[in-house]
Structure formats: C-alpha cells, structure tokens
Copies of this chain bind each other. A is one copy, B any other.
Amino acid sequence: MTNPKVYILDSGSLVIDRSQIMWHFDIGTPVRFPVYSVLIDHPDGLVLYDSGYDLDHVLKVLPFELPEQTPDQTLTAQLAKAGFRPEDVDIVVNSHLHFDHVGGNGKLTHATTVLHRDELVHARVPQPFERLGYSDMNFDLGANYKLIAGDDYEVLPGIRLFETNGHTAGHYSLLVELTGENSMLFTGDAAYTFENLEREVIAGFHLDPSQSVESLRRLKYLARTLPADLYPSHDMDPFLSWKKAPEYYGG
C-alpha cells in the first residue's frame, strides 16, 4: 500500500488568555496560538482533519481573539500548496465543531463530513456557555454528514479516530499510521498544548471537566502504546518546528 502523505495546513493564529489554555492558571496573560488543519493524501481518498477558522467570521463575532491570517493561510491557498482544490477533498473529519475547526468546511463541496453525533447535537442546540464556540454554523449548510459515535473508528485503512470527549460532547482525535516513520496522533482540542498533557491541566473551555482529564490521560496512554507522536492543537513552539505544506510527513 502506498504510504499516505500528511500535510499540516497553517490557518493563522488567534489570541486567548493563558487561563483558557490552562484552566485557572495565570489569569490575565494573553497568548497567541496557532490554528491548523491536517490533509492526508491517502490511496483511498483525500482526507482533511479540521478546516481552520474563517477570518470574516472571527472579525465579525470574536474580534477580541485578534485573528492573524494572511491570504496565504486560507484553506484554499493551503490546499493549493499540496496541489489540491477544495472540491478534491473526499472526507472532512471534524475533531469537534468550534469555529476555529470548521471555518473552511463550507468550501469542501464534494466532501462527506465525518463527525460525532453528539457534537452535532450540541452545535445545533448549545448550552448558553457553548454558543460562542459554536458560533460559525456555516459548515451546517448543505453538509453531507456521516454521523458516528464510539471509539476507534476507521476512516480509511490506517486513519483512525479515538474518542476524547470533555472539551465538547463528541470529540475525536485522529491517528495516521505511517510506514517507516512514527505514527501521528493529532489530539484536536483534547490537548491544546504539551503542557496540558504533562501537567494534566485541562483547558478553560469545556463541557465536562472530569472527562477532559480522562481524555488527556488517554492521549498519553495511546501515544505510548500505539505508539505514536502527539500533535497538540494550539501549541505555538512545537507548531513552528513542524513541517508545513508543501512539505509533508510520510509519502
């Protein structure tokens, strides 16, 4: 089997408070963090894990997160670096449906959206404290869903989803198995940073804090036993050191 190519697509950056990355820690300390998507060019299909944020939406609804996204960091421009157009994507997997993970979904007109069923429930019927997170509902217009639940779901051979709930109601981390290289486990927002993992401190945005703790521990267990390298969702220093499209892992 051809080894998949894994591209990390840069979606720009946002600012939140450190106490929202590390719950209750260092209140009043703004932190700029990266937002990215993962494109997997697999022999059986082109898969995208998350789709970044939509600059217009953030400027309109959450301008206080101070978005920085150049024209080169839109989803379309990033896909082009890997040689693809938005309509080439066969499957988009959303870790969850917060605005900074679904911003490009609407452009993926030929894709099936793989998603946790409970996540769509909460995005469409949010708790009051979830409304801002789920404020970019454009992805829901005309989407072709494949709603799933449960653990260790195989998207395509060697691309697997692990349930890591707590941050939201239905959250998936994504594993890509590579031959001759370490497997890659993209945590999604179950782990914003390596510090969350190491100190077992959860993020300040969450639906179920106890589940969030379990998910942090589960990610460390999976990384050790699969084994796989961990890729947190919003950790600037490691992000800067990773290969970005047009460079890729695997292949």
Contacts and interface: CB of A to CB of B under 8 A. Distances in A.
A96 B17 CA distance: 29
A184 to B, nearest CB: 27
6 contacts: A17-B19, A19-B27, A24-B204, A127-B213, A128-B201, A208-B209
Describe A's contact surface by its main secondary structure.
loop
A243 B76 CA distance: 64
A28 interface: yes
A202 interface: yes
A17 B27 CA distance: 8
Contacts of A205: 24
Contacts of A23: 129
Interface residues of A, number: 21
A59 to B, nearest CB: 20
Contacts of A20: 24, 27
Given A207-B210, A209-B206, A210-B207, A200 B128 contact: yes
A151 B20 CA distance: 34
B210 A127 contact: yes
Interface string A16-31: 0101100110011000
A30 to B, nearest CB: 9
Nearest to A214: B127
A27 B24 contact: no
A205 B19 CA distance: 12
Given A19-B19, A209-B206, A209-B207, A129 B28 contact: no
Contacts of A206: 209
A131 to B, nearest CB: 11
Question: Lowest 4 CB-CB distances: which A-B pairs, in order?
Answer: A28-B28, A17-B27, A127-B210, A128-B200
A51 B204 CA distance: 29
